Amino acid sequence: MSFDWFRKTKKEAPQFWKDYLSGFQKQAGNPLSKRYVVFDCETTGLDPKKDVILSIGAIGIEGDAILVNDYFEVFLEQDVYRPETVPIHGILKTGKEEKLTEPEAVIRFLSYIKDATLVGHHTNFDVKMVNQALKRLDLGKLKNKKIDTNDLYQKHKGWQSDQYSGLDELCAVFKISKSDRHTASGDAFITALIFLKLKKKLRI
């Protein structure tokens, strides 16, 4: 008797996921990237299991310089729309921005970040949001190393790592303009400026 019918067939991963994973394979003469990508997500709420991403903004850093041409921004179609959150992030359900489906946005984001170290303020939340989007595609989690500017700031101050400092607080401390605050691209750029200041102070 054949039991082939009982065996689960392993679904082959899509090419974009294979390409993303291939960037983490250490090979002679092909070291992992020393590029940082500072990113931020605007979302419908604060529950990664229930809420979804509205937009992703990111910018690249190499060494001690922000790469102004290494820039990423996408807006997502809003199947879940909460008008009460619009005053915070300013993203309307319909607008002039091109809006992508969640799979399209994830594919572009993975192609952009490659094997860079991800940087964000309370970046665990943003990573969880992306991971949930990947889960809906039956894929694994992000493989990138990550750095949280909140943790760096607590280390700089000699405080306990579980303390919380908001982005507005750090803007005040480091005298950084908040002109594009509460947009994904604006918060990513602000976080990049904060990261460079902390990177210099901590000599990392």
**Predicted confidence band of residue 34 (pLDDT cuts 50, 70, 90):** confident
- What is the rounded distance in angstroms from the CA atom of residue 192 to the CA atom of residue 198? 10
Query: Per this entry, what is the length of the chain?
Result: 204
Better pLDDT: 12 or 81: 12
- What is the rounded distance in angstroms from the CA atom of residue 39 to the CA atom of residue 86? 20
From residue 62, alpha-carbon distances to 87, 90, 137, 171, 184 in Å are 34, 30, 31, 22, 20
- What is the rounded distance in angstroms from the CA atom of residue 74 to the CA atom of residue 65? 23
Q: Does residue 198 lie within any of the structural domains?
A: yes
Q: What is the pLDDT of residue 163?
A: 87
**105, 74, 104: which is closest to 91 by C-alpha?**
74
Q: Does residue 25 lie within any of the structural domains?
A: no
- What is the rounded distance in angstroms from the CA atom of residue 53 to the CA atom of residue 51? 7
Sheet holding 117-120, edge to edge: 99-100, 65-76, 53-62, 36-43, 117-120, 146-148
Q: What is the pLDDT of residue 188?
A: 96
pTM above 0.75, yes or no: yes
Domain that holds residue 57: 33-202
- pLDDT for residue 9 is more than 90: no
Q: Is residue 99 within 8 Å of 79, Cβ to Cβ?
A: no
- pLDDT for residue 26 is more than 70: no
The proportion of the chain whose per-residue pLDDT surpasses 70, expressed as a percent, equals 83
Radius of gyration of the chain, Cα coordinates, nearest whole angstrom: 19
**Predicted confidence band of residue 72 (pLDDT cuts 50, 70, 90):** very high
- What is the rounded distance in angstroms from the CA atom of residue 80 to the CA atom of residue 23? 33
Q: Does residue 26 lie within any of the structural domains?
A: no
Q: Does residue 27 lie within any of the structural domains?
A: no
DSSP state of 183: S
**Predicted confidence band of residue 94 (pLDDT cuts 50, 70, 90):** low
Other residues' Cβ atoms within 10 Å of the Cβ of residue 164:
9
Q: What is the pLDDT of residue 6?
A: 45
**CATH number for the domain including 175?**
3.30.420.10
- What is the rounded distance in angstroms from the CA atom of residue 176 to the CA atom of residue 194? 8
Tell me how many domains the chain contains: 1
DSSP state of 115: T
Q: Does residue 5 lie within any of the structural domains?
A: no
Q: Does residue 19 lie within any of the structural domains?
A: no
Q: Does residue 186 lie within any of the structural domains?
A: yes
Cβ neighbours of residue 49 closer than 8 Å, sequence gap 6 or more = 132
Residues 145, 151, 156, 160: is their CA dihedral positive or negative?
negative
- pLDDT for residue 31 is more than 90: no
Q: Does residue 2 lie within any of the structural domains?
A: no
